Amino acid sequence: MQLSESNMGITILGIESSCDDTSAAIIRDKQLLSNYIANQQVHERYGGVVPELASRAHQQNIIPVVDAAIHEAGIELNEIDAIAFTRGPGLLGSLLVGTSFAKGFALAQNIPLIEVNHLQGHVLSLFIQEKGVQEGKPNFPFLCLLISGGHTQLIVVRDYFDMEIVGTTIDDAAGEAFDKCAKVMGLPYPGGPIIDRMAQEGNPLSIKFSKPRIEGFNYSFSGLKTSFLYHLRDEKKKDPHYIEEHQADLCASLQHTIVEILAEKLIQAAAHYGIREIALAGGVAANSGIRKKLLDLAEERSWKVHLPPHKYTTDNAAMIAIAGYYKYLHGEFVGQEVAPYARSKF
Ligand code: KG4
Ligand code: ZN
């Protein structure tokens, strides 16, 4: 079955539960009607996501979150044409909650079930349309730098579902680098946004941290993390208050190094593939340093850049619903036997 994009009024309910956010969203055609997200505060005291607590919180949140999304969209249950859910990658226990809910909902409403890869969802978030907002969407092919707490990937996007990962991290993700370094400074989880805020007051060139030398378009952040740790250890020996006294400079220099690492491979890949249309996606795309760097590169290299609104960069169901919409157009449905997967590229 191949439905055409001119069919109007296709309404998709999207469900996202791959990590620690329970989210539901309604999209009609490409336009977002609602996007409801319940964050799980329970992990803060542990300095990271605790998988078992995450699944339990999803189980508590899923029904109220879906209810809220439907209510906010102002639609009736029977107006939903299909349900799309995140099948993976992510935490298996968390994915199971969204997957089981979606299966039950599809069965009860007698509507098609659509599986979405979380990473493709992040990329396709660039196509979400908001009421009254007329923003240019990316043209194919474009290069997407997907940076989040779990992923750091360079993706050549040739069509909605024709994506090639041309670079990936061989150890930590960019968000993990932010969060782990924040943790050693004694900052709460997630540390990325805090480092970003503190970096505004500091000198990005005051401290030099090591940068990786990796072949191709792959990334590595574990060396930077070690270099950061050793720097703190050495300086604290000389001055026990070093961290508190130099927090802004530490944050600014760390952020500067992460941004430089991200930009270097992006520039190389853009040149290699001859692509000038560049997009950011994923939680770390909210970072002011990488956003500014992309705007500077756009000037310098005549790139056209797409910086998504912050609310679609972190995990959300709107991106799952938009991906579901494009799959609906192609009649790409799955059966009740579908099971989530913890790991996969696409
Ligand atoms: O996409 P996301 O919500 O979840 C994953 O799929 O991982 O990304 C969360 C990550 C966390 O590591 C968080 O610290 C980071 O995004 N993050 C930031 C900023 N906002 C969120 N990192 C740096 N600067 C920010 N402004
Ligand atoms: Zn994500």
- Distance from the alpha carbon of residue 292 to the mean position of ligand 2, in angstroms: 22
Ligand nearest to the backbone CA of 314: 1
For 18-27, 132-141, 292-301, which range has the lowest pLDDT when averaged over its residues? 132-141
- Residue 155's beta-bridge partner residues? 144, 165
Ligand nearest to the backbone CA of 320: 2
- Distance from the alpha carbon of residue 333 to the mean position of ligand 2, in angstroms: 22
Question: Which residue's CA is the nearest one to ligand 1's atom 22?
Answer: 192
- Distance from the alpha carbon of residue 10 to the mean position of ligand 1, in angstroms: 31
Q: What is the pLDDT of residues 119-137, one digit of tens each?
A: 999 999 999 998 877 778 9
CATH number attached to the domain at 142-309: 3.30.420.40
Q: Tell me whether strands 11-16 and 21-28 are parallel, antiparallel or unpaired.
A: antiparallel
| Residue among 180, 183, 186 at smallest CA distance from 223 | 180
The DSSP secondary-structure symbol of 219 reads B
Helix %, strand %, coil % of the chain (to 5)? 45, 20, 35
CA atoms of 277 and 299, how far apart (whole Å) = 12
Atom of ligand 1 nearest to the CA of 289: 24
CA atoms of 219 and 200, how far apart (whole Å) = 25
- Distance from the alpha carbon of residue 122 to the mean position of ligand 2, in angstroms: 7
Ligand nearest to the backbone CA of 290: 1
Residue 155 pLDDT more than 60?
yes
pLDDT, residue 6, reads 44
Pocket of ligand 1 (CB under 6 A): 19, 148-150, 175, 178-179, 190-193, 196, 282-284, 286-287, 314-315
Q: Which residues contact 196 (CB under 8 A, 6 or more apart)?
A: 251, 255, 286, 287, 288, 289
Question: Which residue's CA is the nearest one to ligand 1's atom 8?
Answer: 283
Atom of ligand 1 nearest to the CA of 282: 1
Q: What is the pLDDT of residues 302-343, one digit of tens each?
A: 999 999 888 899 899 999 999 999 999 999 999 999 999 998
* Domain-wise residue ranges, the chain: 11-135+313-330, 142-309
Q: What is the pLDDT of residues 216-262, one digit of tens each?
A: 999 999 999 999 999 999 999 999 999 999 999 999 999 999 999 99
> Given this chain, do its domains 11-135+313-330 and 142-309 carry the same CATH topology?
yes
Residue 4 pLDDT more than 50?
no
Count of alpha carbons within 13 angstroms of residue 179, beta-carbon side: 18
Rounded mean pLDDT, 81-88: 98
- ω into residue 190 within 30 of 0, thus cis? yes
Contact 333, 112 (CB under 8 A): yes
For 45-49, 53-57, 235-239, 254-258, which range has the lowest pLDDT when averaged over its residues? 45-49
Tell the burial category of 299 from Cβ atoms under 10 Å away from its Cβ (0-12, 13-18, 19+): exposed
Domain at 11-135+313-330, CATH homologous superfamily: ATPase, nucleotide binding domain (3.30.420.40)
CA atoms of 245 and 201, how far apart (whole Å) = 12
pLDDT, residue 8, reads 55
Atom of ligand 1 nearest to the CA of 122: 1
Question: Which residue's CA is the nearest one to ligand 1's atom 24?
Answer: 287
- Distance from the alpha carbon of residue 182 to the mean position of ligand 1, in angstroms: 12
